[in-house]
Amino acid sequence: MQCFRHGAIAAALLAGAGAATAQTTIITREPVQTQTVVTAEPLQLTPVQRQTIYRTIVQQPVAAPAPTVEYRVGARIPDNVRLYSIPDSVAVEVPAVKTYRYMVVNNRVVLVDPATSQVVAELTR
């Protein structure tokens, strides 16, 4: 009888130890993906680069966007505004502007970052 009691106690301890390890739960979570918003810095161009870009682009025939919107450096442009690719002749002379798009508003050339739709430079005579 004594042997039976020790066997029952041993079985209960082993069953309890197994249940205790089964209750241990480890929860791991994936790192939270955050969206990074990049604000474009104003484009730094020399006066010669600015003139080169302006002179070449104003010779291109383009449709003017709506003049009721104020286009200034750092502002986002509406999605419905048509943007044009930088001419190859400008991209060769000023490689820094190759990836940008442009529009002409009131005899001003407005350079826009197509990834953010933000105005990065405004060029005048």
Q: pLDDT tier at 28 (50, 70, 90 boundaries)?
A: low
> 67-71 long-range CB contacts below 8 Å, 24 or more apart?
67/105, 67/106, 71/103, 71/105, 71/108, 71/110, 71/119, 71/122
Q: pLDDT tier at 39 (50, 70, 90 boundaries)?
A: very low
Residue range 9-35: average pLDDT?
Answer: 56
pLDDT digits (tens, 9 = 90+) for 71-103: 888 889 888 888 999 999 888 899 989 999 998
User: Tell me: domain 47-123, CATH 3.40.718.10, correct?
Assistant: no
pLDDT digits (tens, 9 = 90+) for 48-61: 888 888 888 877 77
